[in-house]
Amino acid sequence: MNTATQDMVNLGRRRLLVGGISAAGGLLVGLPTARLLGAGESDSEHAGKIGYFVEIRSDGSVVIGVAQPEIGQGVRTSLPMLVAEELDVDWSRVSIEQMPLGIVRTAEGYEWKYGGQGAGGSTSITDNWQFLREVGATARHQLIAAAAERWGVDPAQCDTNTGAVVHAASGRRLAYAELAAAAAQLPMPEIAPALKDPKNFRVIGQPTNVVDARDIVTGKARYGLDTDVPGMRYASIERSPYLDGSVASLDDAAARAVPGVLDVFTLDGPKAGEPYLILASGVAVIADSTWAALQGRKALKIEWNKGPHTGESTATFWAQCRELLDGEGQVVRDDGDFTAAMQTADKTVTARYEQPYVNHAPLEPQNCFAHVRDDGADIIAPTQMPSGASR
C-alpha cells in the first residue's frame, strides 16, 4: 500500500469530516478540520471552495470534489459516484471539480488537507470506497436532520428521494436546496451514518458516461503540456540511451548556434545504490521556444559511457527469469499443506506466461512546468502521484 493510500485509509478511520456553509449559503461537507487549517486561516475563508468534497448549492446543484489524479482510469467519474450514491442525488445535477494538491503546515509538521493524493495499483475505488461513501452519507444525514428539525419530527421518520428529504407520514417534502443553509449550521455526527445496502444502489453500478469524455475528444481538456505563460523558457533533454550510462564527451557548439538556444548543460544520473531522484544522465538544452530546444538537442554531439549493463539483452533477461522460476522462490503466504494437496490431486495444470519488458509510457509526452518564486513554487505536471511532487 502506498503512502497516499495509507493516509486516506487512516483519514477515513479518524472520521475527519466537518461541515460548513458556502459563500452562497449552501452546505459544505468534507475536509479540512480546524487542526489542518494553515496559520491564520479560518473555516469562513474556505467557504465556497471545493476542498470539502461536497457542496450543495442553493440552486439545487451539487459539486463534488475529486482529490485523486485522473490518469485515464475514469476516477473523475467513478469516485464522485460513490459520494452521489450515498447523498442520494440526481447524477445529472452533479458537476465535478478537481482538487489541487493539499498540504498545509501545522504545529506538528505537514499534514494532508484532503487525505493522501495519488493513484497506483488500480486501487482508487477500493481505497476510497468506505471513506467517500461516508462523505455522501454524512451530507445526507445533515439534510435529514435539518428537515426533521423544521418539521418537528424524529429524523428516523424521514428519508430521502433523489435530492429531497421526505416525511412519508405527512406527505411533506423539501428539496436539498431548501435545507442546505440550515444543514450547514448543524453539528456533525460523531459516528459515521449507516451506508446503503448495495441492493438499493441507484448510481453505483449503472452505465455512466465519463464526465470529461467530450472535453478529451474535442481537445477542450487541458494537459500539462498545454501550459503557456509569458516569459516561459523551454528545456529538452537528450538522455543516455544506456542504463546507468553517462556523458563521456560533449560538443555543444552547433546546439548553441541554433537561434533561440540560451544554454546547454549536463545532468548527472543516479549513483549506484542511491534513490532515483533523476531518471538518467543527459544533456539539457534551454531555449526560448519548444522548436529551438528540440533543434538544439538534435545538434548535440555526445559520446556516451555505456555503463555497467552492456552485457544485458532480451535473451539474458529471459534466461534469468526462467532460472528464478525454476528455483524455490520466496514464500509470502503459507496456508494448509500445499505439497500434500499437489501430490494427491487427480490432475494438475502447469502454465508459464511471458510478457515483454516494455516501457511504462503514457500517451502524453512527459513534461513539467515549474515557476519558482521567493515564497514558493508552482508545479504543473502529468503525474499519478502528485503527493510525491512535494518532497
The predicted-structure confidence for 121-141, as pLDDT tens digits, reads as follows 888 999 899 989 999 999 999
Cis status, amide bond into 32, omega within 30 of 0: yes
User: Rounded mean pLDDT of the chain?
Assistant: 85
Q: Are 122 and 97 in contact (CB under 8 A)?
A: no
Q: What is the pLDDT of residue 194?
A: 94
Kindly give, in sequence order, each residue whose CB lies less than 8 Å from that of residue 88, ignoring residues fewer than 6 positions away: 136, 140, 160, 161, 162, 163, 202
* Stretch 253-277: mean pLDDT: 91
Residue 6 grid coordinates: 495509507
- Predicted confidence (pLDDT) at residue 56 exceeds the cutoff of 70: yes
- Predicted confidence (pLDDT) at residue 35 exceeds the cutoff of 60: no
Lowest mean pLDDT among 15-19, 286-290, 296-300, 365-369: 15-19
How confident is the model over 203-228, as pLDDT tens digits? 999 999 999 999 999 999 988 899 99
* Stretch 227-244: mean pLDDT: 94
Residue tagged 454524512 (cell numbers): 138
* Stretch 169-181: mean pLDDT: 95
- Predicted confidence (pLDDT) at residue 234 exceeds the cutoff of 70: yes
Considering only CA atoms, give the Rg of the chain: 27
Roughly what angle, to the nearest 10 degrees, separates helices 124-151 and 176-184? Answer: 90
Lowest mean pLDDT among 298-312, 313-327, 376-390: 376-390
Q: Are 121 and 72 in contact (CB under 8 A)?
A: no
What are the start-end ranges of the E strands in the chain? 18-21, 27-30, 54-56, 62-66, 94-98, 103-106, 109-112, 158-160, 164-167, 172-175, 234-239, 246-251, 261-267, 282-287, 301-305, 369-373, 376-380
For residue 379, CA distances in Å to 362, 376, 382 come to: 19, 10, 10
Torsion of CA 178, 132, 117, 235, to 10 degrees: -60
Lowest mean pLDDT among 59-63, 273-277, 378-382: 273-277
Task: Quickly count: other Cβ atoms within 10 Å of residue 160's Cβ.
Answer: 19
Task: Quickly count: other Cβ atoms within 10 Å of residue 211's Cβ.
Answer: 20
Edge-to-edge strand order for the sheet containing 18-21?
A: 18-21, 27-30, 54-56, 62-66, 94-98
Residue 22 grid coordinates: 458556502
Distance in angstroms between the alpha carbons of the first and the last residue of the chain: 18
